[in-house]
């Protein structure tokens, strides 16, 4: 164009192809029942209940803090996430991701059980309990969660990865 061999940039005429939207994979109702039943005695059960009943993303579940749980009004406030690098991000994926959502009584009861379990561990370990505890961060890292539950146990249960 600078040498005036061509007068119009051919790239300007190109149309950007639209990306194909991939369909979201989900579990069936029977698969959900299976994973909840299988995880019932697991430390991960509360996380599954929260994710399934609220639609929270994995990073949101793992980044949830106790002060974000309102046991009286049955809500959780999402204002941070746990990233793939295992670091808390106070900026969520999108602006609308910072939100307060209602949660069912079943999830509230599971959170109460989880909080009691965490408090018992703190008492038992005393000063050896070094972690500043969120709802789940004390028990699992992002990759451990993926490897143990979303891969190994899914194969055992004959469930597909979502």
Topology of domain 25-156, CATH: hpI Integrase; Chain A (1.10.443)
pLDDT in tens, 139-160: 455 456 656 666 556 666 666 6
Domain residue ranges in the chain:
25-156
CA dist., res. 75 & res. 68, Å (int)? 8
| For range 35-60, the mean pLDDT | 87
Is 127's pLDDT higher than 60? yes
Dihedral sign from CA coordinates of 94, 92, 144, 155? negative
The DSSP call for residue 78 is E
Backbone φ and ψ of 98, nearest 5°? -75, 110
């Amino acid at each position: 164009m600078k040498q005036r061999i061509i007068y119009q940039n051919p790239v300007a005429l190109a149309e950007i192809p639209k990306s194909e939207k991939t369909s979201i994979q989900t579990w069936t109702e029977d698969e959900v029942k299976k994973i909840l039943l299988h995880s019932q005695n697991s430390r991960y059960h509360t996380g599954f209940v929260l994710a399934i009943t609220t639609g929270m993303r994995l990073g949101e579940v793992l980044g949830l803090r106790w002060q974000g749980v309102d046991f009286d009004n049955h809500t959780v406030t999402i204002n941070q996430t746990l990233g793939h690098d295992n670091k808390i991000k106070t900026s969520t994926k999108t602006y609308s991701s910072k939100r307060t959502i209602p949660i069912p009584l079943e999830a509230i009861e599971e959170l109460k059980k989880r909080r009691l379990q965490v408090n018992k561990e703190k008492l038992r370990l005393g000063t050896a309990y070094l972690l500043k505890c969120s709802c789940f961060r004390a028990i699992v890292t992002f990759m451990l969660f993926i490897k143990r539950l979303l891969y190994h146990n899914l194969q055992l249960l004959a469930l597909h990865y979502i």
